[in-house]
Amino acid sequence: MSKSTILNATHRALGAKMVDFGGWDMPLNYGSQIEEHHAVRRDAGMFDVSHMTVVDLRGTGVRPFLRRLVANSVDKLKVSGKALYTCMLNAEGGVIDDLIVYYLDEEFFRIVVNAATRDKDMAWIAAQAVPFGVSLGERRDLAMIAVQGPQARARVLALLSPAARAAAGALGKFAACEGDGLFIARTGYTGEDGFEIMVPGTTAVAFWNRLREGGVAPAGLGARDTLRLEAGMNLYGQDMDETVTPYEAGLAWTVALDADRDFTGRAVLEAQRDAGVPRQLVGLVLDDKGVLRHGQKVLTAQGEGEILSGTYSPTLGKAIAFARVPAGDPGAVRVDIRGRELPVRVVKYPFVRDGRACPGI
């Protein structure tokens, strides 16, 4: 029996095609995932992301705890509301999950981890937290709605009280505030501007409906996946997992080897950095007709690799992918699609940002 968010009946009433995602009954689309994708790129769309796991971490040891738990440095978080994207690693340097950490005060941080990894994440975090005396409070009482697109912030701000509007309107990127009983973060997973908003379950349906009346288009997990891949953002379980380090998953930018911080997995990352990372994540574009998909074989000058995330990009009108391939210059790269080897271009991603193809794509 899959779990459902507080918005489940709302999705069904909108005619959503529902699908199991990490044990949750979630909307795949409300008719056309491509139209939903374009709505986010061109105007404003919203996603129910209440299946994600919000956990409040409290205690005097919470900052030292997070300095150990995650590979990015929470020492970067000095202003209340500031957010940080990071991975938490096992002792072998493998990625247990990726997450966002919000700093609220010295005894209170909030994290958001994935839905499908909830059980293992909670077990791992709870075990690691013991010596630091940090308590975990999972916030199943909160729903979460991501409003994304060039008009997303304006559409949300129009629904807020003057005080909340002033606070949310002043947020820089990757920062959050509270207002009108909402936790409003200027974050997202689409490559567009917008907010991710935590809203009490009791008022989530009403808030969703007000957004819809305000011109925000409901969008499902299908569009969320094409948007995030265009934006060059990793998906846990597909682009990285416990068998790869952040260096092998294109996430070196999220690793901080700062002095005096002994985070879990650090020794392995340092050894890998010194010895050379054996595999790399690259972005691919297929200019021919066809669709790059997870599991397809990738042939490079350095040996074989495989497609991790691959899809048709509605913004570009052609297929794009992440692939993990052997380190070194990949040379002329081909992908095996049903026995035919098609040439692909290795590109620097993101593929799309703020509604437009990036240079070189």
Q: Is 291 in the site for other proteins (CB under 8 A)?
A: yes
Q: Looking at beta carbons only, is 17 or 273 nearer to other proteins?
A: 17
Is residue 189 within the footprint of other proteins (CB under 8 A)? no
Structure-block tokens of residue 5: 């968010």
Question: Considering only residues 32, 128, 203, 238, which one is a binding residue for other proteins as defined by CB under 8 A?
Answer: 32
Q: To the nearest whole angstrom, how small is the minimum distance from the Cβ of residue 312 to other proteins?
A: 4
In the numeric block, which tokens belong to residue 105?
A: 């005060």
The reply on whether position 238 binds other proteins by CB under 8 A is: no
User: Among residues 350, 356, 40, which one has the least CA distance to residue 222?
Assistant: 40
The residue among 170, 115, 325, 309 whose CA lies nearest residue 230 is 309
CA terminus-to-terminus distance, the chain: 43
Distance CA 21, CA 18 (A): 9
289 binds other proteins (CB under 8 A): yes
Query: From the list 24, 109, 312, 351, which residue makes contact with other proteins (rule: CB under 8 A)?
Result: 312
Total of chain residues touching other proteins, rule CB under 8 A = 16
CB of 5 to other proteins, least distance (A): 21
Candidate segments 99-107, 180-188, 206-214, 284-292, binder of other proteins by CB under 8 A: 284-292
Query: Which listed residue (259, 260, 274, 338) binds other proteins by CB under 8 A?
Result: 338
Count of CB atoms situated within 10 Å of the CB of 230: 27
Q: Least separation, in Å, of the C-beta of 295 and other proteins? A: 11
- Half-sphere exposure of residue 264: CA atoms within 13 angstroms, side-chain side: 22
Asked if 28 touches other proteins (CB under 8 A), the answer is yes
Residues facing 86 on adjacent strands: 99
203 binds other proteins (CB under 8 A): no
Question: CA neighbours within 13 Å on the CB side: how many for 273?
Answer: 13
